[in-house]
Structure 1
Amino acid sequence: MASYLQQADHLLRPRGQALPSLRVLPLLVIVLGGGYGAVMGTYGGLSADRLWQVVYSGTKVPLLLLATFSISLPSFFVVNTLAGLRNDFGKVLSALLATQAGLTVILFSLAPYTILWYLSFDDYGRAILFNGLMFAVASISAQFILLKFYRPLIRQNPLHRLMLVLWLLIYSFVGIQMGWVLRPFIGSPDEPVEFFRENSWGNAYEMVFGIIQRSFGF
């Protein structure tokens, strides 16, 4: 356990150019992402009929992060190859994995705020928006980790700066849509607990805009 904590600390405070152990990074995503997901699933309470939502949500947050990463990576690899940066891709992959793990460390640290929100407000739509805000805070904060690990690559070849922007665009686009497909992460207390919604597919961006409109009465 102490070793994992040291690796998590290294993500937040990189020492030199050394990256954390690649064996540890996916485990941090699974464990800490699952921890935040379990907290997300407690919105409807911890009664016997709602416990499965905690389990489902704890499973789906790591699934969301790892699936988004896996879907985004092949096209990013191809573009890096076309840009003549294939020889650096091992270091790029390590930096991206470190950022994924760092994101979950930050996200898990925000779990107490989610619990406080649930205890203070009972509106389902705003619970969705609040969790979206927590993901946004964690994602934006994780970019500082990505920049720290990417800086040596950018110094070596300025094209990596463009690739970094491209990765953020690809990852964000895929991540939002994957979040919609894998819903519900919170689960409305008025609906039965289920792993997937019956109509999982659709345009995530239209739906998110609709949730914002309904939550604020527009």
Structure 2
Amino acid sequence: MKMTSFLLRIDDILRRQPWTTRIGGARSALSWLTVAIVVFGMTYGAVMGVFGGVLGDRALQVLYSAIKVPLLLGATFVIGLPSFFVFNTLFGLRRDFGEAVRSLMATQAGLAIVLASLAPLTMLSYASSSDYSAALRVNGLMFAAASFAGQWLLREYYRLLIARNRRHRWMLWTWLIIYVLVGIQMAWIMRPFVGAPGAPVQFFREGSWGNAYTVVAKLICDAVFRR
């Protein structure tokens, strides 16, 4: 019965049922959304970490990856929230900020659920190829697909807010920009998520506190200007 109730609540998140964002019972809703982010984020993270196997030290990589995916989602959300609050205040939307945050939390939960649903495809790709670079690309593709689904879900959650005040449309795009910029940097800092076979298992890679954007820019420059 409890499992059925849990699955129904997960279905409610994807179907954008009112309890996920309503003011009444907000604490209970946020608790459920947090549970969904942790459970489904850890599910996909564990699958990410099994690329090099699950024996010996590699079991620790599975655990690390399981912890880091919900941590990535949560840290990106928390770091981006203060600036989002300031923008909402500047645009005169502070009164709706609580509902906006609940919509963002529901979207985070939806993103984690979509990620977990893609885990079997990631496992299939691991079984089909032992190439580490290919594994990184597959996981990048899965995160991109989940992020796209999350963006669509967020737009649906924001529909009522936009109908109330069109300036929320600007805030929707503002959040997406903030989330992407912070998320890329946080993913860079928190690597490795997959873990190269034969490499020592680490929670954080040495030199992880670099700038993701300078690395991306260098890769683009090397690709464009190399002889």
- TM-score normalised by length of structure 2: 0.89
2:20 maps to 19
1:3 maps to 5
2:67 maps to 59
CA displacement at 1:49 relative to structure 2: 1.9
Please, which runs of 5 or more residues in structure 2 have no aligned partner? 22-28
Equivalent pairs, count: 213
Q: Tell me, in whole angstroms, the C-alpha distance in 2 between the residues paired with 1:178 and 1:26.
A: 19
Query: Percent identity among equivalent residues?
Result: 54
Secondary structure of 1:44 counterpart:
coil
CA contact (8 A) 1:183 1:196 kept: yes
2:47 maps to 39
Change (3 A) 1:56 1:6: same
Are 1:78 and 2:86 matched, yes or no?
A: yes
1:113 maps to 121
CA displacement at 1:207 relative to structure 2: 3.8
Opposite residue 133 of structure 1, the aligned amino acid is: L
Q: Tell me, in whole angstroms, the C-alpha distance in 2 between the residues paired with 1:190 and 1:48.
A: 12
Secondary structure of 1:190 counterpart:
coil
Match of 1:175 among 178, 183, 205: 183
Over aligned residues, Cα RMSD in angstroms?
A: 1.8
Q: Tell me, in whole angstroms, the C-alpha distance in 2 between the residues paired with 1:113 and 1:194.
A: 25
Secondary structure of 2:41 counterpart:
helix
Opposite residue 3 of structure 1, the aligned amino acid is: S
- Residues 11-65 of structure 1 deviation map (CA, whole Å, 9 limit, x = unaligned): 21124x4426221001111110001000000000111221000000000000000
| Residues 140-149 or 52-61, more deviating | 140-149
Please, which runs of 5 or more residues in structure 1 have no aligned partner? none
Opposite residue 33 of structure 1, the aligned amino acid is: G
CA displacement at 1:103 relative to structure 2: 0.2
- Residues 140-169 of structure 1 deviation map (CA, whole Å, 9 limit, x = unaligned): 011121111100000000000000000000
Q: Tell me, in whole angstroms, the C-alpha distance in 2 between the residues paired with 1:37 and 1:175.
A: 16
CA displacement at 1:205 relative to structure 2: 3.5
Change (3 A) 1:205 1:123: farther
1:197 maps to 205
Q: Tell me, in whole angstroms, the C-alpha distance in 1 between the residues paired with 2:58 and 2:97.
A: 44
